[in-house]
Amino acid sequence: MTHLLAIDQGTTGTTVLVLDDALRLVGRGYREFAQHYPQPGLVEHEADEIWQSVLGAIGEALAAAKVPTADLAAIGITNQRETTVLWDRGTGAAVHRAIVWQDRRTAPQCAALIAEGHQDEVRAATGLPIDPYFSATKLAWLLDEAGLRARAERGELAFGTVDSLLVHRLTGGAVHATDVSNASRTLLFDIHAMQWSDALLRRFAVPAAVLPEVRPCAGGFGHTRGVPGLPDGIPITGIAGDQQAALFGQACFAPGEAKCTYGTGAFLLLQTGDRAVPSRHGLVTTVAWQIPGERAYALEGSAFVAGAAVQWLRDGLGLIDKSSDIEALAASVPDSGGVVVVPAFAGLGAPHWRPDARGVITGLTRGTTRAHLARAVLEGIALQNVDILRAMEQDSGRPLAELKVDGGAAADDLLMQFQSDVLGVPIRRPQLLETTALGAAMLAGLGAGVWTDKRAIAAVWHEDRRFEPSMPQAEVDAHLARWAAAVAKA
């Protein structure tokens, strides 16, 4: 058994990869599923639609791989984080639509908890601010507003993030478990004691009876049973939330190593070793992973808009026909002509945390063309990451030596070169940009004994290209100064 099945359950669709024991991609499947918006600010998923997307993507990946199912050594899972699901323990059926991480319905409850003075105690235990983004207030809302509290307290209902839902269904209802990285995104998990916190359960009014068992990221999560298209008995041996999985998939195994995933937004994580580093600069502290003999933490910062800015050029302004056209258009001019774009379409995230901020374009002249605007958008994506990474350096006390990159926009050579220039460090791009799924496969292989340790995994991580900083420092300083001035206007 030499192949691994990696399930990457994302916000808008599910990707499944089949990889061999050298982490070469041999099969891929993808299925989208519906997004439900009952009211402005509310975002929901149907648990059954998520599950059907997983089954469809598994079938497509196995068909493409032409690998017999008997050759699958293990299954790894990575998932959209914070999305909250509640289901009946007996039937496995969801009792309400899942409340997605983007959902803001519990903003009033969060504001009340902050006004009562609970922010510092929650952040000290969890590394997270009180915010609707995380799972605890979503779960409390389900228990109260959907009238499910009594059933939950009687032990009839099970809560989980999406990884837990998939484990429950993959094992035929035999296992209710999560991993430490997903647990650390709930506001209910003490990241220092590495266990559910009784104090936090009381604070958020969550009964312990609904919680999954928390397990390490690499290890046993049960075996398949009754799954269409898969034989019984395949072990599930690796789980991590999507951004932690990408950090592992980039082989960021030493403290101070960092990765940036360029998707709709940009997600940056810096590994801090066995020390949970509190942030003084608007970042969050999170569990990166727990594997045999090791626990690792990370600092995390997110820019809300990255690839979405390119989509805006395509769909909102009609300046390009498809997203991949932006590189050639931007490269048709030597620079942005002094134009700066701050892509704060949804406010500014870390380290500024200004939800009221809005997008800004500065430096326009009569000579500005769509090529200058395209180049300025790419530069804005990179410059907002500089702010986050400098905050990480200050919090961790470690200078950044290099940055590993993944996600769709990481394929853009011009963007990657500019990112290297303004950061002043090398950028390393792997051959397989789907490192979220790759990390799930690595953890599953580690948990199943395909590899004995991280060193063996690092040996099969393959680099595609390295970008070295080449811009003169005076030019870098000018970019950073123009960026700071534009951000102040956002």
Q: What is the per-residue pLDDT for 294?
A: 92
Give the rounded distance of the alpha carbon of 433 from its chain centre.
14
Q: Are strands 3-9 and 25-32 parallel, antiparallel or unpaired?
A: unpaired
C-alpha distances in angstroms, 454 versus 194, 438, 439, 442, 457? 22, 14, 12, 9, 5
The two structure tokens encoding residue 350: 């870390």
Cα angle 470, 471, 472 (rounded to 5 degrees) comes to 115
Q: What is the per-residue pLDDT for 1?
A: 62
Alpha-carbon Rg for the chain, nearest whole angstrom, is 22
Spatial distance between the Cα atoms of 348 and 2, rounded to a whole number of angstroms: 45
Cα angle 34, 89, 54 (rounded to 5 degrees) comes to 30
Spatial distance between the Cα atoms of 389 and 375, rounded to a whole number of angstroms: 22
Which residues, other chains included, contact 459 with Cβ-Cβ below 8 Å and sequence gap of 6+?
none
Give the rounded distance of the alpha carbon of 341 from its chain centre.
25
Of 284, 181, 153, the residue nearest 239 (C-alpha): 181
Domains by residue range for the chain, with CATH: 3-234 (3.30.420.40), 251-490 (3.30.420.40)
User: SS in 3 state form for the chain?
Assistant: CCEEEEEEECCCEEEEEEEECCCCEEEEEEEECCCECCCCCCCEECHHHHHHHHHHHHHHHHHHHCCCHHHEEEEEEEECCCCEEEEECCCCCECCCEECCCCCCCHHHHHHHHHCCCHHHHHHHHCCCCCCCCHHHHHHHHHHHCCCHHHHHCCCEEEECHHHHHHHHHCCCCCCEEEHHHHCCCCCEECCCCEECHHHHHHCCCCHHHCCEEECCECCCCECCCCCCCCCCCEEEEEEEHHHHHHHHCCCCCCCCEEEEECCCEEEEEEEECCCCCCCCCCEEEEEEEECCEEEEEEEEEECCCHHHHHHHHHHCCCCCCHHHHHHHHHCCCCCCCCEEECCECEECCCCCECCCCCEEECCCCCCCHHHHHHHHHHHHHHHHHHHHHHHHHHHCCCCCCEEEECHHHHCHHHHHHHHHHHCCCEEEECCCCHHHHHHHHHHHHHHCCCCCHHHHHCCCCEEEEECCCCCHHHHHHHHHHHHHHHHHC
Predicted TM-score (pTM) of the model is 0.89
- List the chain residues with pLDDT less than 70: 1
Spatial distance between the Cα atoms of 340 and 364, rounded to a whole number of angstroms: 8
Amino acid at 149: R
Q: What is the per-residue pLDDT for 457?
A: 83
294 forms beta bridges with 291
| Sign of CA pseudo-dihedral 57, 59, 62, 65 | negative
